[in-house]
Amino acid sequence: MTGSTPLLPRRTALLAGMTALAAPAVSRAQGTSAGAPLRLGILTPLTGAGGFDGPRMLKAMQAVGEEINAAGGLLGRRIEFAVEDDQTNPEGAVRAARKLIDVDKVPVIMGTWASAVTAAVAPVCWESKTFLTTVSGADSITQLPHQGYLIRTQPNNHLQAGKHAEFIAGTGAKKVFVMSLQSPFAMPTQNRVREVLAQKGAQMTGALLYEKDKTSYRSEVDQALRTRPDLIYLNGYTPDVTILLRELYRAGFEGPRFAQSYSVTDKALESLPREVTEKVYTVQPSSDVDSPAFEAAKKRLGTGVDSYEAQATDWISLVALTIAKGREATGTALRENVRKIAQGEGTKVYTAVEGLRLLGEGKEINYEGASGPCDFTEIGDIVDCKFRYQIVENGAFRFLKVA
């Protein structure tokens, strides 16, 4: 039993260490009594692949938080944020989410970005009855059994592909061919495009999947042209779409082509001859740039507002209004009440402060956000979203519309 004596101080040391670890949390997480700050969780990527978008989303949320605090707070309490870094890594993100839920006792976590991170954090949230808001776009996210504890403001793949198909049919194209890069988005996009084109009286004459990093797509181009399409939808990234555009031109295809904005960039236009890129349509999800909510976000942040910042603005606004509506800051109350202020017949409001004032007067409200109308389906997807369309003419983009 000689080993037991040195064990004791070690155990004491461990206990002391744990207490030290807990001390700041205890002092900060003082109860939920009136007057104490109301703590909300933010979990964005501050490092890793999402390190560009995460900090800006964080800033957008903090700006709205300050505005609410300046206007008297929420339920008479100041909003305070518990911020953690998800490291754009599911393993690290789960540990961070545990800290937010178990130590900070937040009713909501806002901000996960990568789909894998969201899918990893979501079970922790719904098991602990914590609400989660995200920008992750993969269709599978909202199909998780999240029991309503999740909403996302990013249009999912289904919605995007549907809108694309509507636009394509609107250009008058009757026969459409889809060429997709092998990715999780490829098949869902093709299926949805086929469906919507058929509804709109057009037809998807064929589709194919291609591998990335090939130096030539000649056989794929031949396969597409064999169906004599009016329009070709190129669903890939810049390297492959650049090659496809060139080879379609060489093969004599003169009809319009349709692609995501991220694949036809300014750089790509510079690198290709004008004839090759003539009449290429591009599309991207857009914030609701004409809405007063977007205008308010721009003023608040003092800069241009991109889609992610607009969505972050909407999360914190939705969360604040929902808490005010239900007069209760819990994940379950958020789940129950979020659709009562996000959609419906109430007075349209465009900022959290405005909404809080009307709620205080006992009025019904319907929050219309900077990213869009913010109406949610049963499973937490947005019902509608604006898209920005452009066309390439003479080697430059011409704005068509936001619709």
Q: Which residues bind another protein (CB under 8 A)?
A: 17-18, 21-22, 24-26, 42, 46-47, 54-55, 58, 83-85, 87, 89-92, 94-96, 98-99, 101-103, 114-117, 119-120, 122-124, 127-128, 138, 140, 144-145, 182-184
Residue whose CB is less far from another protein, 84 or 288: 84
Pick between residue 159 and residue 264 the one whose CB is nearest to another protein: 159
Q: How far is the CB of 218 from another protein (least distance, A)?
A: 23
**Minimum distance from CB of 3 to another protein (Å)?**
11
> For another protein, which is the closer residue by CB, 18 or 36?
18
Q: Least distance in Å: CB of 51 to another protein?
A: 8
Instruction: Show Cβ contacts of residue 13 under 8 Å, excluding neighbours closer than 6 positions.
Output: none
Q: How far is the C-alpha of 31 from the C-alpha of 293, rounded, in Å?
A: 34
Residues 221/206, Cβ–Cβ less than 8 Å: no
- Least Å from the CB of residue 10 to another protein: 10
Helix (H) or strand (E) holding 312: helix 307-326
Other CB atoms within a 10 A radius of the CB of residue 323 amount to 26
Cα 143 to Cα 125: distance, rounded to the nearest angstrom: 15
Q: Which is nearer to another protein, 125 or 159 (CB)?
A: 125
Question: At CA 154, angle to CA 328 and CA 130, rounded to 5?
Answer: 30
Helix axes 292-301, 54-70, angle to 10 degrees: 100
Please give the single-letter amino acid code of residue 11.
Answer: R
Minimum CB separation of residue 55 from another protein in Å reads: 5
Question: Shortest Cβ distance from residue 366 to another protein (Å)?
Answer: 32
Report in angstroms how near the CB of residue 15 gets to another protein at its nearest: 12
| Rounded Cα gap, residues 185 and 161, in angstroms | 10
Phi, psi of 290 (to 5 degrees): -90, -5
Cβ-based nearer residue to another protein, 23 or 396? 23
Residue number with CB closer to another protein (182 or 219): 182
How far apart are alpha carbons 299 and 20 in whole angstroms?
A: 42
Q: What minimum distance in Å lies between the beta carbon of 52 and another protein?
A: 11
Residues in the chain: 403
| 223 Cβ contact list (under 8 Å, min separation 6) | 206, 208
Q: Which is nearer to another protein, 18 or 251 (CB)?
A: 18
End-to-end CA distance of the chain: 78
Residue 29 vs 289, nearer CB to another protein: 29
Task: Specify whether the CB–CB gap between 232 and 281 falls below 8 A.
Answer: no
- How far, in Å, CA of 94 to CA of 80, rounded? 22
Among the listed residues 401, 367, 320, 372, the one whose alpha carbon sits nearest the alpha carbon of residue 79? 320
In this complex, which beta carbon is closest to another protein, that of residue 123 or of residue 395? 123
Instruction: State the minimum distance, in angstroms, from the CB of residue 162 to another protein.
Output: 20
At closest approach, how far in Å is the CB of 208 from another protein?
Answer: 16
Query: 122 or 173: whose CB is closer to another protein?
Result: 122
User: Shortest CA distance to 23 belongs to which of 15, 35, 32?
Assistant: 15
> What are the residues facing 152 on neighbouring strands?
134
Give one DSSP letter per residue of 68-120, joined into a string. HHHTT-BTTB-EEEEEEE-TT-HHHHHHHHHIIIIIS--SEEEEE-SHHHHHH
